[in-house]
Amino acid sequence: MELLVEMQGINKAFAGVPACEGCQFQLRPGEVHALVGENGAGKSTLMKVLAGVYRMDAGQILLRGREVEINSPHAAQMLGITMIHQELNLMPHLTVAQNIFIGREPRRSVPFLLDEPTINQQAEEILAQLHLNLSPKQRVGGLTVARQQMVEIAKALSYNSQVMIMDEPTAALTEAEIEELFNMIHRLREKGIGIVYISHRMEEIKRISDRVTVMRDGHYIETLITPETTIDRVISLMVGRTIYESAPELPETPSTEVVLDVKNLNRGRELRDVNFQLKRGEILGFAGLMGAGRTEVARAIVGADRCDSIELTIKGKPVTIRHPRDAVRHGIGYLSEDRKRYGLVVGMDVANNISMAALHRFVSPIGVVDDGKIRQTAKQQVDALSVKTPSVRQRVRNLSGGNQQKVVIAKWLTADTDILIFDEPTRGIDVGAKSEIYKLLNELARRGKSIIMISSELPEILRMSHRIIVMCEGRITGELTSEEATQEKIMQFATQRSELIGIDSEVQPA
């Protein structure tokens, strides 16, 4: 069969860090081709190259056998390649029809006059083709995410797109909406349109796709024929890298004293019935894929977001936390994955950052900040955590990622917190500094601090955690001890949706 798209030897690096190396991909007309891999495997990068969002550093793209150059999203669109992004590219204030025809509106005889009736009529025709019950005059901002996605598909179709790339299209959809999307995909495929389906959800991939390509660490691994393979095989290809360089170094088992007990945590569709306990001196790993709801759990606990229900018990006492400052008062510190936005004031110096969460301790009765005392405390922390900085007067902006993370930790230690929630503690930190952060976490646990560690890196989770909780789609789907945990088991829990969409994972694609 003639190939619709063929990508060969694609290289793409960001600031010298390769995201794709020698990647390949094929798409046939009328095929649904799933693209899978862990977070950071390079699948989105590869598809953004195809959609003209990124320009590749090396490689070749053939469209129906002819080499093409794609240097902008618009160029891709003109070639019939459309990517439907997770963050939808629509204009909420405009109508469905206006969105579909933005940039190429039908005009009247005077060229700058819009021909609104024609715009609406042509949009109506496209919507009818897709059996979509949508009014072209409806404002897009008033539609559900699922319907907005349909508008994007309609727009793609109006460009005569032959290739549609869907990036996690079901991430924000309900079960019924997923059904509607799948029906739509069948209709598109009947028109001979090739669909690239990026997803983490194994059951969906099993059900909808014809072939699966697995990527890992920026490399192409293998392309499998979906009906001839199993979910287990796909997962093992996804995680199949050699386990971490060094042996796991676990501190001794924690005590049995429960310091934090979270019960009945619910928020809309994002968090559903989350219950767990954290023990003294324990490192509790939170694993799961992006969007599983782990950060949301952390933010709910520290009072950064409202939730529908939550019962918190800290060291045996029921507490109510409505605001992050309540959390600090109860000794909980949250170390955000986005240090520069939520963890640090990068324009200020190390000393001031370290004292930030406990400033009241450095203020004299008449309200004057005691700079000397701040510097002294900061120096102690800098020494204790071996932060590499020329002085505590150094601006945090000028420190490396690892040392910035240490400054955040120092800040929470200064504030006397003994429950620390780390969200992706080593994101953006190089390998050498990583192991230092790990040592520091172990040391903190040994000193009796209790730690929740949210991480998307399985080796990190396996190496650091005493116990692992796995989340998927806002629920806790599994709990593993450090002895029984493997990458495969975690992945299985993290992609476990069969009970949710109510289909057998081994069902053949229709």
Q: How far is CA 401 from CA 305, 340, 427, in A?
A: 27, 10, 8
C-beta neighbour count of 174 within 10 angstroms:
13
Whether residue 469 contacts residue 448, with contact meaning beta carbons closer than 8 Å, is answered with: no
Q: How, if at all, do strands 17-27 and 5-14 pair?
A: antiparallel
Q: Which residue has the tokens 């029984």?
A: 484
Separation CA 57–CA 55 (nearest Å) = 7
Q: Give contact residues for other proteins (rule: CB under 8 A).
A: 73-74, 77-78, 86-94, 98, 102-105, 107, 112-114, 116, 140-145, 147-148, 168, 171-172, 270, 290-291, 293-296, 337, 423
Q: How far is CA 204 from CA 169, 197, 216, 389, 503, in A?
A: 11, 10, 20, 49, 9
Whether residue 143 contacts residue 136, with contact meaning beta carbons closer than 8 Å, is answered with: no
Minimum CB separation of residue 507 from other proteins in Å reads 27
Whether residue 356 contacts residue 445, with contact meaning beta carbons closer than 8 Å, is answered with: no
Maximal C-alpha separation, the chain: 82
Separation CA 471–CA 236 (nearest Å) = 19
Q: Which residue has the tokens 């390079």?
A: 42
DSSP letters spanning 264-275: EEEETTTEEEEE
Separation CA 84–CA 169 (nearest Å) = 8
List alpha helices for 27-79, DSSP H: 43-50, 73-78
Minimum CB separation of residue 291 from other proteins in Å reads 4
Whether residue 348 contacts residue 341, with contact meaning beta carbons closer than 8 Å, is answered with: no
Minimum CB separation of residue 162 from other proteins in Å reads 18
Sheet holding 467-472, edge to edge: 332-335, 419-423, 450-454, 283-287, 467-472, 475-481
Minimum CB separation of residue 457 from other proteins in Å reads 14
Q: Which residue has the tokens 């007990």?
A: 261
Separation CA 77–CA 52 (nearest Å) = 9
Q: How far is CA 93 from CA 113, 136, 137, 139, 142, in A?
A: 20, 13, 11, 6, 9
Show the tokens assigned to 34: 């799933």
